Amino acid sequence: MIFKTQPNSSVCNGSNQAGESISVVDQESTTAVRASKLTSTGAGSDEIDGQQDHNQDGDIALNSYEATAAAVANAADHGKQRPMALDQENSRKSTTIVRVSGSIHEHASHIGNGSISNHQAERQNQATAFSTSSTQVDDNNNNNDEGSSREVRRIGRLSTPDRGRIMVARSMIPRGTFLYRLAAQATVCDTDNRTRRCASCFKRIGSHDHDMTVMKEENVETTRKVDDGGSEGGSHGCEGCGEIWYCDHACAERDWEVLHSAECRFLKALYQGVPSTTTTSCNNKTNIDEDEAAWMTSVGNPHREAIMRFSREGFEPYTQDYCRVLIRTLTHRFHEFTEPPLSIQYGISPADPPYLESADPDQPQGPLPYSDVEDLVMNRESFSREKVEGEFRDVVRILDAFQGHLEAFYLPRMDRRRRQHKEEEMTGGSGNVLKPPRRLLETELMDLIMREECNSFGMYEYPPFPLPSTATAAAVAASTDAGKAGEAKDNSKICYALGFFVRQHLYGFNHSCSPNLFHVAHNNQLLLYAARDIPPREEINITYLEFGPHYRITPPSRAGAKKGVEEEEKTRKKTREAFENRKRFLKSHFYFDCGCARCTYEATLYSSSDNDMKEEVKELIGEEEEKERFLREGLSCEQEGCFGFYAPPAVLHARQDNRGSKNGCDVEPKVDGRWGCVACDRFQS
C-alpha cells in the first residue's frame, strides 16, 4: 500500500469541494490541540468534546466547523502550542479552512488574499447544485447483507492542526460493519502484472478463448487483432501498442472507449521507443512509421529525451506505474470535457456516499471530476530536491508531452462535437458546448505528481491458498535487511495494481499503527470494514503499512519484560526497533512523520528519562498492543500456511466475481453469514 505526505502541511488545501462548504478560521488565533491520552482516537476526540449533540439515534451530530473552531478556542484558552502553517499556497494569509456540511458558508470568500480563485468559485457553484453532506455515510451493508441504502451519519470529518483532516466515528460502529467500497480515480496494473491482469477490470486474465478484440476509433470501426503474447493464461494484448492486456472483449471495448484510445499511441512510444529526428528507430525494438515519427517530433526535444529514457527502461517499475496512473488521470481530465464524469451525469455529488461507496456492484462507479484531485494533500517540502529535479522532472516532461498528444487526439473530436451542437442549436437544441481544458503548466504537473505520491495505494491480492509455505514466509520474515526496510518480497500477497484515490472519504483516513479499519483490495476497488467495535468519537484509521510476515507492525509482546532486567532490555530494544522501522518506512514511502497515538507515546517512552513516566507509557503501549494483537490474532486466518485474514460476509460478498471465479482473482464467494478468510475457504471458528 502506498500513501505519502507531510503532516504539518496538510491541514487543508483550500479548494472547496462539491457538496461541502468551507469556512475560515483566522489562524492567528488558533492553537494546536494534541491528544492527551493513548487511544487511537488521537486529536479528534479532544476536538469534538463538548461539541456533541445527540440526535434521536444517539449519534453524535458533529459540525466540523463548530467543533474545530471550539476546539481551537479551547486550546487557545489553555495556552497550547500554535499550529503549523497550512500548505504554502494558503500560508500567506494565515487562514485555516474548515469544512462544514450543509450550505456554503460566506466566509469562503476569505480564502487566500480575500478573493477566491475562479476554480474555487466554480467549485462553489457546483457545490450549490449538489446538496449532500460530507459526513453522510452509506450504511448499505451494516453488519448484514440487506443492501439497504439508508444513510446513517456514522462518520464525521474534522480538521486537526498536525495531521490534516481526520475521520471520526459519530456513533458506535460495530465490528464487521462494511463501510466503503471505493473505486480509484485511475488505476494501472503493476508493471510485473501488465500481461497477467486485465487493464480494465484488473481481474486475473483467464485462459478462456478470445480470438480478437475489436476497438473503435471515433466514426471508424477498426478491427485490431489481439496478440496472445504467450503470456500466462493466454492473455490478449492491444495490437496498437502491445502494452495493454485485457481479459475479454467487453473490457477492451470499455477501456478503449474512454481511456485507451487516447493513450494507445503514446504508450507505444513510451515503451517501444521514440524515433529520432531522422526517423530512425531509437532502439531496435520498433518499426515506427513516418506518421508516428512526425508526431513524436512535435513533442519537442526535452520531452523526447524523457520518453526515450522511459523506453530504454531507465525508469524504475514503480515510476513507470505512477507515470501511467497520471497519464490515465490526465485522460480523464480531458475526457470529462467531452463527456461529463458519471457523478455529474447522474447529478450526484462526489461527496455522496451512495454513489461513491455503495456496496452495490450495480451502482455507477467512475472517476471524480478532475478538480477534486486538486484538493488532495501534496506536501511539497517532503520531497528531496534530487527527486524533484531528477525523476519528477522527467515525469513532468512525459506528462506534458502527453498533454500535447491529448490535444491532438481530442480537439478534432471536440470540433466535430461543436459542429454537431451548432446544428442542434439551429434546430432548437441547447447548443451548449464544453470548452476543452487548458494545458496544465509544468508546475501544476509537478503538483499533480506529488498529489499522486501522497494519495496512491498499492493494491494487493491475497492469492488463493495454498500459498506459500510457512517455512518460506518465515525465511522471508527473517531476511532482516529487507524486512527492516519494509520491502521484503513475499508471496503471501501480490501487489497487482497502483490506484490513485481521490475519494473524499478515503483521503480523510489517516494512518495509524494501531488501525481500527481493515481494507481489502478488490479488482480496482478497496473494501473497508470495521476490524473491531469503534466507539463514538474515536478516530477512524487505516494502516498504510502492510500486515504481513515481512513487516513488524506490532512491537513484541511485553510478556518477556516480566522475566527480568535482561529480558526487559531485549524487549525494549526490539520494541524500539519496530517503532523505528515503522517510522522510517512511513517517512520514505509516504513522506510524513507518523503522529499516530501509538507512535506519539512510544516516542515519549524512548525520549523520557523519567522512570514513572516510562511505566505509565508502557502501560499505555500495552493497551495499544492488545488492540493490535486482536487485529492480527483475532483476524488472521488459522489455516496452516495461509496469510489471509478474516473479513465479514458483506466484504466477501462484494468480492464476489460476478463473471465467475474462473476468470476472477478471488476464491469462491462465501455469503453464509460467517466471517471468512479473504484468501482461502476457511471460515472463522
Taking CB under 6 A as the rule, does residue 594 contact ligand SAM?
A: yes
Residue 3 interacts with ligand SAM (CB under 6 A): yes or no: yes
3-state helix, strand, coil in the chain (%, to 5): 40, 15, 45
CA-CA distance, 564 to 570, in Å (whole number)? 10
Q: Is 185 in the site for ligand SAM (CB under 6 A)?
A: no
State the angle between helix axes of 597-607 and 565-590 in degrees (0 to 180), rounded to the nearest 10: 130
Binding test (CB under 6 A) with ligand SAM, winner from 111, 596, 617, 651 = 596
Backbone φ, ψ for residue 542 (5° rounding): -110, 180
44 in contact with ligand SAM (CB under 6 A): no
d(CA 485, CA 581): 7
**Using CB under 6 A, which of 99, 107, 110, 165 touches ligand SAM?**
165
Residue closer to ligand SAM (CB basis): 10 or 187 = 10
Smallest distance from the beta carbon of 534 to ligand SAM, in angstroms? 17
Question: Can you tell me the distance from the alpha carbon of 131 to that of 127, in angstroms, rounded to the nearest whole number?
Answer: 7
Which of 595, 649, 664, 676 forms a contact with ligand SAM (CB under 6 A)? 595
Q: How far is the CB of 591 from ligand SAM (least distance, A)?
A: 6
84 vs 485, beta carbon nearer ligand SAM: 84
Cell of 422: 451548432
Helix H or strand E encompassing 539: strand 539-542
Per CB under 6 A, 592 contacts ligand SAM:
yes
For the stretch 660-674, what's the b/e string if a residue is b when 16 or more beta carbons lie within 10 angstroms of its beta carbon? eeebbbbbebbeeee
H/E segment holding residue 638: none
Query: Between residues 164 and 676, which has the closer beta carbon with respect to ligand SAM?
Result: 164
Gap between the terminal Cα atoms of the chain: 29
Applying CB under 6 A, among 455, 504, 525, 663 the residue interacting with ligand SAM is: 455
In whole angstroms, the minimum distance from the beta carbon of 507 to ligand SAM comes to 4
Told to check if 45 binds ligand SAM by CB under 6 A, we report no
Binding range to ligand SAM, per CB under 6 A, among 295-303, 490-498, 508-516, 608-616: 508-516
CB closer to ligand SAM out of 86 and 476:
86
> How far apart are alpha carbons 246 and 252 in whole angstroms?
6
The least distance separating ligand SAM from the CB of residue 585, rounded to whole angstroms, comes to 12
| In contact, 40 and 539? CB cutoff 8 Å | yes
Q: Measured from the CB of residue 123, what is the shortest distance to ligand SAM in angstroms?
A: 16
Query: Smallest gap, in angstroms, from Cβ of residue 90 to ligand SAM?
Result: 13
In the complex, what is the shortest distance from the CB of residue 111 to ligand SAM, in angstroms, rounded to a whole number?
16
Among 185-193, 507-515, 546-554, 570-578, which window interacts with ligand SAM (CB under 6 A)?
A: 507-515
CB 1, min distance to ligand SAM, A? 11
State whether the Cα torsion 326-329-335-336 is positive or negative. negative
Binding string to ligand SAM for residues 8 to 37, with x set by CB under 6 A, is what?
A: --x---------------------------
Verify binding: residue 456, ligand SAM, rule CB under 6 A.
no
State how far the alpha carbon of 266 is from the alpha carbons of 136, 261, 306, 438, in Å: 41, 10, 13, 20
Burial of 86 (0-12, 13-18, 19+ CB in 10 A): buried
- Shortest Cβ distance from residue 164 to ligand SAM (Å)? 3
What dihedral do alpha carbons 327, 332, 335, 339 form, nearest 10°?
Answer: 170
String marking each residue 550-589 x if it binds ligand SAM according to CB under 6 A: ----------------------------------------
Q: Residue 413 has what DSSP assignment?
A: H
Q: Which residues, including other chains, have CB under 8 Å from residue 21's CB and lie 6 or more apart?
A: 99, 100, 101, 102, 103, 104, 105, 108, 124, 127
How far apart (Å, rounded) are the C-alpha atoms in residues 678 and 663?
17
Q: Interface residues for ligand SAM in 371-410 (CB under 6 A)? A: 377, 379
Q: Give 160 or 331: the residue with its C-beta nearer to ligand SAM.
A: 160
Instruction: Candidates 1-9, 285-293, 394-402, 557-565: pick the segment binding ligand SAM (CB under 6 A).
Output: 1-9
Residue of 508, 548, 644, 648 that binds ligand SAM (CB under 6 A):
508
In whole angstroms, how close is the CB of 237 to ligand SAM at the nearest point?
33
What is the rounded radius of gyration, in angstroms, for the C-alpha atoms of the chain?
25
Q: Pinpoint the alpha helices (H) of 591-674.
A: 597-607, 611-635, 649-654
Tell me the closest approach of the beta carbon of residue 604 to ligand SAM, in angstroms.
15
- Per CB under 6 A, residues contacting ligand SAM are 3-7, 10, 163-165, 377, 379, 454-455, 507-508, 510-512, 590, 592, 594-596
